[in-house]
Structure 1
Amino acid sequence: MVADDRGSVIVDAGQSPAHARQIQAAIRDTGLPPARRLVYTHHHWDHVWGACAWPEVEVIGHVAGRELLEAEAARPWSHRYLRDEVRANPRLGPSFRARALAMEGWEDFAVVPPHTTFTDELTLPGGVRLRHVGGGHAPDSTVVLVPDSGVALLGDCFYPPPFHLRGPDDGLDVAMLHDLLDDDYQWYVDSHGEPTTLTQARHLLSG
């Protein structure tokens, strides 16, 4: 999250309502300003399935993600549905089994498409910048830039496509990562790795 006295920005919603509630409890326990906006870095389930636990928050995402999430919202999500889908397409196994483990129940669950969308860039009150980068992992991939802290939150933008869509030649988008490095940002944080400094990132890419 990006803490702001006028209302904080949450970057991605958590992978389930239970996960989102853990984040909310941590915010309360540390006395950070409550969330006012929730930004999706992209539409994949582990980044958006907690959004229904943030009912009073404006959800913001790239326009390419809205139609995808509207289609996801129409699916009859349940443990049985997940099992049936994996039987029909075993390549969905890693993703759909992880979803089943994340979800305690489905009674109050809903996929939430963004309320507000943008195309290329959007600057939020307080100066947080959203920039669409797309790429092979997800068409709506967005980076979240925090200029006054020198932090770039990358989501999964340079990752290969999800397993069920991945081809034998798909890998990390190193060219995209090169392009994202900027002297104005000293910290780079992707969704599933450790934070990296600009110097470390350049060293890794040069090696």
Structure 2
Amino acid sequence: MTASLSQLSGRVWIYPGDPDPEAVMPCVAVVADDAGSTVVDAGQSPAHARLVQSALAEAGLPAARRLVYTHHHWDHTWGACAWEVEEIVGQESGATLLSAEARRSWSQEYLQEQVVANPRLGPSFKARARAMTGWADFAVRAPSRTFTDRLMLSGGIEVRHVGGKHAPDSTVVAVPGSGVLLLGDCFYPPPFHLREPGPAGEEIDLRQISALVAEGFDWYVDSHSPPWRPPVPE
């Protein structure tokens, strides 16, 4: 997939995700700043990260200064090793999980072995195999800067832990001056291999998303849908 960055609102630009759900390629957000841009989520592979980097240069935006993870899942973090940044910001529980992930022997063979051992991993691990073009320079990168509940970054960016069923470290990134709230996957159901049997395991977290919409941002961006605006009360 080849795309470009488009300006959503103010300093917030969006590199769109792939609409094919089997690609598992989420959108990546860029908050432009003359001191260096903040990139929200690293991409699902080094190849994905390089596409975003090319789009960043083509748009004439400042080079990346930092990455912020919305959560630890592979499709949001596996591109980090392709970014040259001063810091990677993530919630502390996700940092622990990523440190453990970094110690695993990632390769095509390892992915296949894991699926044989646990077939429920199939959708996730087969998507990882498709995303990766090589493993020689690949590494999972844990955050270099962690936080517990909230963190204010330079440029008026607020990073806030919200948790939820999808991932324990789910984080939203607010850019109030641009009227944008970046949601990651915070209100999604758990990943397939972690869902409980029955329909409840597939339900979105309505309480979570309702509370965030009530905050009244102009734009909301979740990782696997186009940016959207909350309905206007009649």
| Both structures adopt the same fold (TM-score exceeding 0.5) | yes
Q: CA RMSD, aligned part only?
A: 1.3
SS in 2 for 1:82: helix
Q: Is the counterpart of residue 175 in structure 1 residue 193 in structure 2?
A: no
Matched, 1:164 2:193: yes
Q: Aligned to 1:196, which of 225, 228, 232?
A: 228
The residue correspondences of 1:10-89 to structure 2 (distance < 5 A) are 10-89=39-118
What are the Cα deviations for residues 19-69 of structure 1, in whole angstroms up to 9, with x where unaligned? 101111111111101110100000000000000001333100000101100
Question: Who is 2:181 aligned against?
Answer: 152
Asked whether the equivalents of residues 128 and 147 of structure 1 are also in contact (C-alpha less than 8 Å), the reply is: yes
Instruction: Report % sequence identity.
Output: 62
Contact 2:67 2:85 in 1 (8 A): no
Q: Which residue of 1 aligns with 2:32?
A: 3
Distance 1:196 1:55 in 2: 30
Runs of 4+, deviation exceeding 6 Å: none
Structure 1: runs of 5 or more not aligned: none
Task: Spell out, residue by residue over 1:103-141, the C-alpha distance to the aligned partner (whole angstroms, 9 max, x if none).
Answer: 000000000000000011111000010010000000000
Q: C-alpha distance in 2, partners of 1:78/1:57?
A: 28
> How far did residue 199 of structure 1 move?
1.9
In the alignment, which residue of structure 2 is the partner of 1:119?
148
Give the distance between the partners of 2:207 and 2:85, measured in 1 at CA.
Answer: 38
**2:134 aligned with 1:105:** yes
In 2, Cα distance between the equivalents of 1:159 and 1:57? 30
- Give the C-alpha shift of residue 7 in structure 1: 1.0
TM-score, with normalisation over the residues of structure 2?
0.84
Cα deviation code 1:60-86 (max 9, x no counterpart): 000010110000000000000000000
**Equivalent AA in structure 2 for residue 59 of structure 1:** I
Distance 1:18-1:58 versus aligned 2 partners, 3 A rule: same
Q: Is the 8 A contact 2:95 2:142 kept in 1?
A: yes
Q: Which amino acid aligns with 2:204?
A: L
Letter in 1 for 2:34: D
Q: Which residue of 1 aligns with 2:3?
A: none
Paired residue secondary structure (1:193): coil
TM-score (normalizing by structure 1): 0.95
> Does the 8 Å CA contact 1:147/1:184 hold for their aligned counterparts?
no
- Three-state SS of the structure 2 residue aligned to 1:36 is strand
The amino acid of 2:190's aligned partner reads P
Deviation at 1:184, TM superposition (A): 4.1
Counterpart amino acid of 2:208? M
Q: Aligned-pair distance for 1:183?
A: 4.7
